[in-house]
Structures are given as structure tokens and as C-alpha cells.
Chains A and B, each alone.
Chain A
């Protein structure tokens, strides 16, 4: 199972193994990793699952949809070039070991 490394705003890291196809948001929420909310169950409708993807992994990510791009314009924490909605990224062998940084706040 692919591993995901979540790094909290204050630098604490949590490593989880997620089933393939599970989203980065689901992995965090289900396992109680703080910093990602996921209020809309991954429908790309709330922007409370905002995260910063470690630069080393950016190129491997699936392209973002127009909807995701627009939602990212209104996140609670600042949008950066490596901002993504974690409900739109699925764990996969390709992304094994991915490092996800949490923003300061989600709402």
C-alpha cells in the first residue's frame, strides 16, 4: 500500500499507508490527522482539504481540474504554487512516499 507523509503546520509528521484509490484527504480525516477537514466528502465543493504538496512530487500529480483551480483561489490559508485540494489526489504506487504539508487553517 502506498505511503503518505503528512506534515502538520508545526512540523510534526505522521506516516500512513493508504489503500490505492483512497484520497489523501480521506486518509487524513479517517485516521484523525489534524489539519485537513474535508467537509464536502471530497466533492471539490468546500476547500477545507487544502494542502501543500512537497515540490518533489508536484510533477507526478494528476492535472488539476478547472473547478479545483477555482476553489483554490478561496482557501482559508494562502494559495501557493504547490497548493492542491487533497480530496482530488488519490494514493497510488506512483505517489508512494508523497509528502503533504498542512496549511495553518482551513476555515
Chain B
């Protein structure tokens, strides 16, 4: 028998299986994931997971019995190694083959690895998977000094977590500001101040020369190109990811930095779909092809695929949104701020409650909020509906923004 085969059991893969059943699809569903764990959620890994005592079970999307009850076949700990499009089959690393009517690629992204002397030492880690976080956890006790390489969300979330755990934290950033790819200089500066307030040392223009060995294969320090030596028992590299398109490229599906999909999340093979971190699509809000690395994108694309496979009318038009937790700051972003011409601020930075409203000419295109979730929620509706508040409405914190769109 054949049905839907889903490659990857991350946010997109899991969601697709779940949504297929909710949409009434009653064919076979097989979810294959190379990691040997029940599908789990990644965002808490760099945030609350190391601080909570609820353990790994709390990361799971569902328990095993959910998959059994909904007749969703799981093949965990096995990678799919090839797609044979002509035969509509995939091949697993144990040489097993699976036939499919529809194939969903939810392969996510791959970690960018450090390419430095000392990168393989004991105590050098990453945060992408449950195994990664177990590794880090196993090094925490003997860690006093943690050095974090990278200035993006995951690096900074881990900096916040490590600082809360009482570690002395140094963050090494190559460029001149943190979160440079995600937020504007105002917000980078604000977040920098927050990290400073929590005793985290952030070095800009920092180039790592090598990671030094203690003589027993463990990390002892990080040496910068300018000669600085930073003691460290744990080095965390958060230097980004790249779309995992290996299978798709080999199967000669259209790819360029992501598997290219249409508004139904279909690749150039009508029986093969792609969603999540590995998919590139034409974003209606920016008018160009983009690839997003976010839960929202993975979940919403997966839902569209499930509906399309179940024979329903669906298209991917969601406004992108994202969040990050650092200390007691909740950062939320909606829309794409790139190409903005000006912005207005609501609330005040002194109160640690403010939002930046980005406009391209007279159109609201994005909102970045700090501890103002109501602005974020209203923003999702405003941007989706194409409604732009005026400067006065934005700056008046008593004005209810959602009144502009409420039914």
C-alpha cells in the first residue's frame, strides 16, 4: 500500500501528519526521521529547557499512543537516502523502500559547523537537537566560563540561559551588532544593554583563532586572532544553519538555497511537497522568494500541504511571525521589515515595553515588539488585512490597535 511519506519529523513533518488526519485524510501516513526520538519541539532547547525540571517529556509534541491511535506510522532513527521519482519510492538507510502517492520533504536545516582548530574538542557544542542539548547539559556542571560564538537568536538565548544558570558568559560576534540579520540597530542596541545588565560580556569584531586543548582533549580556552585568551570549559557555536536540500537536489527537484515551492507548497514534481526551513517560496508580503526559519512558517506550510493532499482548497499566504525569549524580555516580530522607509515607536524603552512599527512608504510592513504582546497580536491582523494605523494611533498607547481590524 502507498500513501503519504513525510521525510523529517520536526515542526513541519509532525504538523503535516497531524493536519492530514484532522483534514480527514484516511490513507497511510509514514513519518520518517533520522533522529531516534519521538517528534519534539525545538524552541525550548535554547530557552526554558535547561532551566525547567520537567525533563524531556515536556518537549514532545505527542506521546507514542497518539500516533498509534491516529494510525501514523513512525520510522525513527532512520534516514531517507534517496528519492526515486519515476517509481514514486523512497529508499531508507536500511535499504528498505517505501512507495508514496505524495511525498513531503520536511528536512529542515543543517547546522553550520565551526571550521577551526580545536572545533572537535570535548566541550564544543551546538543547539539544534535533543542530542545536542544533552551534550551541553552533560558539560554544564564542570562549566564556570561559557564562550558563545555567534550573535543570532539561538546564541543569545543560550547566553541568557547560561547567565541564569550562574555561568560567566562571553559572546563573540564577528560583526558590529547583535541580531544584525533580524532587527534594526535600535533594537540591537537595546538587547545589548539587556545582556550587559545581566553581566554578559559581548565582544564585537571578534575573530576566533583556535580553541585551546587542556592536554586531555577538553576545551580550556578560546584564543582570538588579536591574541586575547578567554578561559572556557564550554564553547557553544550558534553560527546559523543552511537549508537541507540534499535529497531534493539529488532527485533533481528545483532548488536554490531551499527547495522551491509554489503557493500550495508543491515542488516542480506535482507529487512532492516541501515545507519548513528547507523550503523557499514566493512571499506575497515582500514580493520575492524567501526561505524562513521559524515555527510559524513550518507549521502553516505543513497545514497547507495537508489540506491540499486531502483535496481541499488551500494556499500559503500567512504573515510571518517569530518570537525569542531572553531573560524576562519577550521579543516578538511580525511581518518582514526589510526595505522599510521609516518607523514609529509605541511605548518606551525605559519601561522595557515598546514596539517599533515599520512602514514602507505609507504601508505597515512589520512590527517588532518588546514585552508588548498585544501590539504583536494586533499586528498580525493589521498586516494580514493590509491595514496601516496612523502615527498618532501608534504613539497613543491607549488607542486599541486591534479595534482597526476587529470583526
Q: Which residues of A contact B (CB under 8 A)?
A: 19, 21-23, 26, 29-32, 39-45, 47, 66-67, 70-71, 73-74
Q: Quick one: closest A residue to B406, CB to CB?
A: A74
Q: How far is the CA of A42 from the CA of B330 in the complex (A)?
A: 12
One of B58-66, B174-182, B224-232 contacting the partner: B58-66
Which residues of chain B are within 8 angstroms of A45 by Cβ–Cβ distance?
A: 323, 330, 332, 373, 376
Q: Which residues of B contact A (CB under 8 A)?
A: 41, 43-44, 47-48, 52-54, 57-63, 65-66, 69-70, 295-296, 299, 323, 325, 330, 332, 371-374, 376-378, 381, 402
Could you tell me if B373 and A32 are in contact, using CB atoms closer than 8 angstroms? no
- Given A30-B63, A32-B66, A43-B323, the answer on whether A74 and B374 have CB atoms closer than 8 Å is yes
Could you tell me if A21 and B52 are in contact, using CB atoms closer than 8 angstroms? yes
Q: Which residue of B61, B299, B325, B378 contacts A43 across the interface (Cβ within 8 Å)?
A: B325
Could you tell me if A70 and B374 are in contact, using CB atoms closer than 8 angstroms? yes
List 15 A-B residue pairs with CB atoms under 8 Å apart, sorted by A's residue number: A30-B60, A30-B62, A31-B62, A32-B62, A32-B69, A32-B70, A43-B43, A44-B330, A45-B323, A45-B373, A47-B377, A67-B373, A71-B373, A73-B377, A74-B381
Closest 6 CB pairs of A and B: A74-B377, A70-B374, A45-B323, A32-B66, A41-B41, A70-B373
- Given A40-B323, A43-B43, A44-B330, the answer on whether A21 and B54 have CB atoms closer than 8 Å is yes
Could you tell me if B66 and A19 are in contact, using CB atoms closer than 8 angstroms? no
Q: How far is the CA of A29 from the CA of B58 in the complex (A)?
A: 10
Which residues of chain B are within 8 angstroms of A40 by Cβ–Cβ distance?
A: 43, 295, 323
Which residues of chain A are within 8 angstroms of B63 by Cβ–Cβ distance?
A: 30-31
Could you tell me if A71 and B374 are in contact, using CB atoms closer than 8 angstroms? yes
- Given A45-B330, A73-B377, the answer on whether A22 and B54 have CB atoms closer than 8 Å is yes
